[in-house]
Amino acid sequence: MITATGRLDRVLVLGGDSDIGIATAHRLVRDRGARSIVLAGRSPAALQRRAAGLEADGATVTCVEWDVTDIDGHEEVLGALFAAGDVDVTVLAAGVLGDQSRLEEDPDELLRVVTTNFTGPAAAVRSLAELLTHQGHGVLVVLSSLAATQARRANYGYGATKAGLDAFALGTSDALAGTGARVVVVRPGFVRSAMTAGMEDAPFACDPEDVAAAISEAIERPSRTVVYVPAAVRYVSWVLRALPRAAVRRLPR
């Protein structure tokens, strides 16, 4: 339960090795009194490393092996996590950037990105919506992207998967109205993280901690459904969507 002063207890990070997911967990432990963190992800070793940092902040951390692309296994794993106790905040941060040029050439790479960024997460959102409805409260934070708001030559593969997930999450948000549970869709611009390592900063680049801060704030405000990070990229998205196709085509990245 999230209290009147925004304090909460139990947080589930899906994609527990994601920089944004972990930064959010740290933020919720430090600022919102979260005491129990569940990290779910593919690599137990990576999760253990992340857990140590959170434990140093005073949280109790549980690590669970979970693969977003193993859709058949979602219900069982997620169901067990919710059965162990109410989950106040779920952060769905699993995803890959993919390689745009490779997925244009290799259908397997395309399928991998679509499954990891859309099919798997959408199936997880569906499962979570059921669990949250039963629970009657809780916030589901879905990591979308600024790239979801306009297809661009440089990253339309990634953008398309995020656009799909974004739409699915927004629709779920409407479906959950009146149940006590809610969805927050987060659309960061360029985030300096492991996913973008080696890439040059785009304008309005930010850090995982900035995304975490925006998420923490949105959790306290029931009216907030879509969050841009930094806030200014909302206007970038407006401009991108207002541009004629020919102009979008010429964008450098």
Enumerate binding residues for another protein (CB under 8 A). Answer: 1-7, 33, 86, 133-137, 178-181, 220-223
Question: Shortest distance, CB of residue 134 to another protein, whole angstroms?
Answer: 5
Question: Shortest distance, CB of residue 139 to another protein, whole angstroms?
Answer: 11
Q: Which is nearer to another protein, 5 or 198 (CB)?
A: 5
Q: Are 251 and 152 in contact (CB under 8 A)?
A: yes
Backbone dihedral angles phi then psi of residue 242, each to the nearest 5 degrees: -85, -20
Q: Which is nearer to another protein, 33 or 44 (CB)?
A: 33
Alpha-carbon distance values, 49 to 10, 44, 238, 252 (Å): 20, 9, 39, 37
User: In the annotation, is 228 catalytic?
Assistant: no
Q: Which is nearer to another protein, 31 or 67 (CB)?
A: 31
Output the CA torsion sign for 19, 23, 28, 34.
Answer: positive
Strands 36-41 and 10-14: parallel
- Alpha-carbon Rg for the chain, nearest whole angstrom, is 17
Question: Shortest distance, CB of residue 35 to another protein, whole angstroms?
Answer: 10
Residue 31: other Cβ atoms inside 10 A: 16
| Tokens standing for residue 38 | 């569940």
Contacts with 72 (C-beta within 8 Å, 6 or more apart), sequence order: none
Q: Which is nearer to another protein, 121 or 138 (CB)?
A: 138
Contacts with 173 (C-beta within 8 Å, 6 or more apart), sequence order: 182, 183, 185, 225
Residue 36: other Cβ atoms inside 10 A: 18
Question: Shortest distance, CB of residue 28 to another protein, whole angstroms?
Answer: 13
Question: Shortest distance, CB of residue 214 to another protein, whole angstroms?
Answer: 16
Question: Shortest distance, CB of residue 111 to another protein, whole angstroms?
Answer: 37
Contacts with 120 (C-beta within 8 Å, 6 or more apart), sequence order: 67, 68, 69, 70, 71, 94
Q: Which is nearer to another protein, 70 or 217 (CB)?
A: 217
Q: Which is nearer to another protein, 4 or 197 (CB)?
A: 4
Q: 156, 158, 228, 235: which is the annotated catalytic residue?
A: 158
The residues that are catalytic are 158
